[in-house]
Structure 1
């Protein structure tokens, strides 16, 4: 029987041209993050299943790829008991374990940069894959909103450098949402479900949110109160933010409003120096259960979903370290950024096109001389019709070529120009 050579569902093979775009995006992002002092770390793909299912991953905990324990001789009563490891569904949960194990050897505050694959058992569809890359920065040990402001500034700069300027920053705060729920009379133990439902607002609208909240036991009058408060807070200006927040949600702590104002002031200053829009968005929730403070997302007119998101998670590290540590992070939707770019900038790439009777030593000597100039050079044997081969070289991304015959090296010619035809 012929074997199916297609990749597993929800995964994909990447051709050189696609990888070139990805390499370009990662290089530009890395360059910016390094300038801000973020240091690259790596964590394993596999994590203890108890850590991944600790109740902090929101809906993503339902999408974990679990790994069966080795040495099983009989099946236990529960299918869940078969697994002791799982593939990570994000880079934040592994980071908290990493910091708990290695904090004594790390600077304070610690600026972490991660890039790597994560796995979720998604239903495969356009823009959603079961294996995809995340690109994260996290600032651990900084309790002030300097962390939030710096993360947003660094990430918007990184995306602009990668070729995706013109993003809009959407900002909210989990403490604001908790106060909003308290003000509406929603019990503390029911607020997790309230957040999950509210997070679906952009997909199902208020009618869908209302229906689901009522099914969760929230009264119609409570839903009305939440909707009125949120509607009143949309489109606020920086100067009115603190007053209108406390007017709409009287139980909101003063420090929460002050923190939000400090972050928006930093964004307003940043917007004077680059193409950037921002807004306070009271409907922003973010699905992870570990957020404790400000949360934010970046949107772009070319993408139907956010292109980056993050927030503060001051209590997550404590699960590994035994004491809470202030922490804030930002994750770029790497696949979505790549999808926004048609191609990477053309790189100066030279083909050393050699005839069959030219010795390897001569071919390599020509290529070596060109590489010494810092250029990307590939030796390729001459075959078939000359013009057709030049056309293929251009399709493959080569910008110029040198034709090498026995005892003769023709001058370099640019591909696509009249003189190369």
Structure 2
């Protein structure tokens, strides 16, 4: 039987040039986050299914790759519930595992704890351009800091990192789940129905108000409720940053004063961050973010040429409490690593030297020559001479080499030549 050598649907192989771009992006982000005091941790790919499906992951909980229990028979009885067959799942983000990690290791960690994570996550997406079933996330989180310092620092560190990898002229969009809850309540949405309301509202940029109204209608919301929410949201659109706090109080009389004050504090910080890092910010009343665990500020970053946001996050003060039994303030920001890499798809140019050696050169001589050339800090790899010379030089250049030396048994000294232009 012939085996299909293509990767699993919704996944992909990465060639060396693509990995070089990813390594550059990751090393740059790691260096920036380290300067802000964030420490790298790792969590397992597998989590208990009850944690992943606890009702806090929004639409992502419908896309969990579930793992069968060990020791199941080849056949199971008809009518067996899926819950009886599954005990683990592949993580769909890095925040839920972080909450479990902190609950388990809190006594060993400083307060506040600044966490940095990078790793693969899995979602049973419908494969399409820019959406994969396995992809990488890059997160920073601050746990144990109740003030708006957490939000402001996370935004500054993330926009700084994006600038360093080459994404400039970015815009930070902010909103607040408490603001959205007040807006929904004033529009007539019952508290128990607000999660479903927000899940649909989160699709506004993709399906427009007509699509949102249609889907909310199917969910049982009356047209008057949708119209009332739309009226309040549109009244807050395009409000200048320095006017947001004034307008919020007028548009939503029942909005708590501390929510308005928090938005004002963040706005003041963003004005300073923008002056340093060249970013803009705006209050976006349509920003929802689909995760059910957010409790306060939510934010996203957009960049020119990017379809959708390149980073997003928010405050989730109740999630860690699922592990500890007591709530702990927490806030996080996730960089869309795959989307950034796609925007920076130009291959990295670094010096790589090929030692092109003839077949009669002794192996010790080849290794000694490569070792001596490598002492200068360059990447050096021996490659056996074969085929037509010009064709082999083309292959070396395509493989990422920038220069070569031709090592022959009867020669004295080596002449280093650039690959570009030699073939």
Q: Shorter-chain TM-score: which interval?
A: over 0.9
Q: What CA distance in whole angstroms lies between the structure 2 residues aligned with 1:387 and 1:91?
A: 48
Map 1:114-263; keep pairs closer than 5 Å.
114-263=117-266
Q: What CA distance in whole angstroms lies between the structure 2 residues aligned with 1:161 and 1:345?
A: 15
Q: Which SS does the other structure have where 2:228 is aligned?
A: helix
Other-structure match for 2:38: 38
Tell me how far 1:271 sits from its aligned partner.
Answer: 1.4
TM-score, normalised to structure 2's length? 0.96
Q: What CA distance in whole angstroms lies between the structure 1 residues aligned with 2:173 and 2:160?
A: 16
Q: Deviations over 1:224-258 (max 9, x none)?
A: 22111111111212221111011111111111111
Q: What CA distance in whole angstroms lies between the structure 2 residues aligned with 1:71 and 1:298?
A: 46
Q: What CA distance in whole angstroms lies between the structure 2 residues aligned with 1:138 and 1:402?
A: 48
Is the 8 Å Cα contact of residues 91 and 134 (structure 1) preserved in structure 2?
yes
Other-structure match for 2:24: 24
Tell me how far 1:277 sits from its aligned partner.
Answer: 1.8
Of residues 333-342 and 47-56 in structure 1, the stretch that sits farther from structure 2 once superposed is 333-342
Tell me how far 1:173 sits from its aligned partner.
Answer: 0.3
Is 1:13 the counterpart of 2:9? The answer is no
Other-structure match for 2:2: 2
Q: What CA distance in whole angstroms lies between the structure 1 residues aligned with 2:419 and 2:403?
A: 5
Count of aligned pairs: 419
TM-score, normalised to structure 1's length? 0.97
Q: Deviations over 1:130-152 (max 9, x none)?
A: 11111111011111111111111
Q: What CA distance in whole angstroms lies between the structure 2 residues aligned with 1:157 and 1:377?
A: 33
Other-structure match for 2:319: 316
Is 1:284 the counterpart of 2:284? The answer is no
Q: What CA distance in whole angstroms lies between the structure 1 residues aligned with 2:285 and 2:275?
A: 24
Other-structure match for 1:270: 273
Other-structure match for 1:370: 373
Of residues 49-58 and 358-367 in structure 1, the stretch that sits farther from structure 2 once superposed is 358-367
Q: Deviations over 1:191-228 (max 9, x none)?
A: 11111111111111111112222333333222222111
Q: What CA distance in whole angstroms lies between the structure 1 residues aligned with 2:172 and 2:345?
A: 24
Of residues 53-62 and 366-375 in structure 1, the stretch that sits farther from structure 2 once superposed is 366-375
Q: Which SS does the other structure have where 1:182 is aligned?
A: helix
Q: Deviations over 1:279-313 (max 9, x none)?
A: 11000000000000000111122121211110000
Is the 8 Å Cα contact of residues 238 and 265 (structure 1) preserved in structure 2?
no
Other-structure match for 1:358: 361
Structure 2 unmatched ranges of 5 or more: none
Q: What CA distance in whole angstroms lies between the structure 2 residues aligned with 1:356 and 1:233?
A: 74
Gap change, CA 1:344 and 1:142, over 3 Å in 2 = farther
Q: What CA distance in whole angstroms lies between the structure 2 residues aligned with 1:79 and 1:317?
A: 27
Q: Which SS does the other structure have where 1:273 is aligned?
A: helix
Q: What CA distance in whole angstroms lies between the structure 2 residues aligned with 1:342 and 1:323?
A: 44
Q: Which SS does the other structure have where 1:352 is aligned?
A: strand
Q: Deviations over 1:138-181 (max 9, x none)?
A: 01111111111111111111112122222211110000000101
Is the 8 Å Cα contact of residues 134 and 333 (structure 1) preserved in structure 2?
yes
Is the 8 Å Cα contact of residues 320 and 327 (structure 2) preserved in structure 1?
yes
Other-structure match for 2:55: 55
Of residues 215-224 and 227-236 in structure 1, the stretch that sits farther from structure 2 once superposed is 215-224
Is the 8 Å Cα contact of residues 18 and 345 (structure 2) preserved in structure 1?
no
Is the 8 Å Cα contact of residues 353 and 381 (structure 1) preserved in structure 2?
yes
Q: What CA distance in whole angstroms lies between the structure 1 residues aligned with 2:240 and 2:302?
A: 19
Q: Which SS does the other structure have where 1:89 is aligned?
A: coil
Tell me how far 1:182 sits from its aligned partner.
Answer: 1.3
Tell me how far 1:407 sits from its aligned partner.
Answer: 4.4
Is 1:86 the counterpart of 2:79? The answer is no
Is the 8 Å Cα contact of residues 20 and 348 (structure 2) preserved in structure 1?
no
Is 1:72 the counterpart of 2:72? The answer is yes
Q: Deviations over 1:72-109 (max 9, x none)?
A: 34446212321000010110000000000001001111
